[in-house]
């Protein structure tokens, strides 16, 4: 248990930040899942629209420090490649 006021405050702040970050990550996962489902459904226009909606959320996760920028770049690249594959066929 914390013995100093500053350590007690840090514990409170860490708990709050953890809940905010968890909510942010969950929101990002939901957007990515929508893209995945549209790709599986074979609907190119829906997949493209879902990807357009997911990209800013992923980038926001980077700016807020929830996700690493290379991880997001990789995810966006792979999703867009799959969406392009849908529209090509």
Domains observed in the chain: 5-88 (1.20.58.110)
SS3 of 22-43: HHHHHHHHHHHHHHHHHHHHCC
Over the stretch 50-62, which tens digit does the pLDDT of each residue have?
999 999 999 999 9
- Angle at which helix 44-63 crosses helix 69-88, to 10 degrees, equals 170
What CA–CA distances, in Å, run from 8 to 1, 4, 54?
A: 8, 6, 37
Note the pTM of the prediction, 2 decimals.
0.88
Task: Evaluate if residue 88 carries a pLDDT over 90.
Answer: no
From the CB of residue 31, how many other CB atoms can be counted at a distance below 10 Å?
Answer: 18
């Amino acid at each position: 248990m914390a013995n100093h006021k500053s350590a007690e405050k840090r514990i409170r702040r860490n708990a709050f930040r953890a809940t905010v970050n968890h909510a942010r990550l969950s929101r990002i996962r939901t957007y990515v899942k929508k893209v995945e489902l549209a790709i599986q459904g074979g609907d190119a226009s829906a997949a493209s629209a879902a990807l357009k909606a997911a990209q800013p959320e992923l980038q926001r996760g980077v700016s807020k420090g929830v996700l690493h920028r290379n991880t997001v770049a990789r995810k966006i690249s792979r999703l867009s490649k799959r969406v392009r594959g849908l529209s090509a066929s």
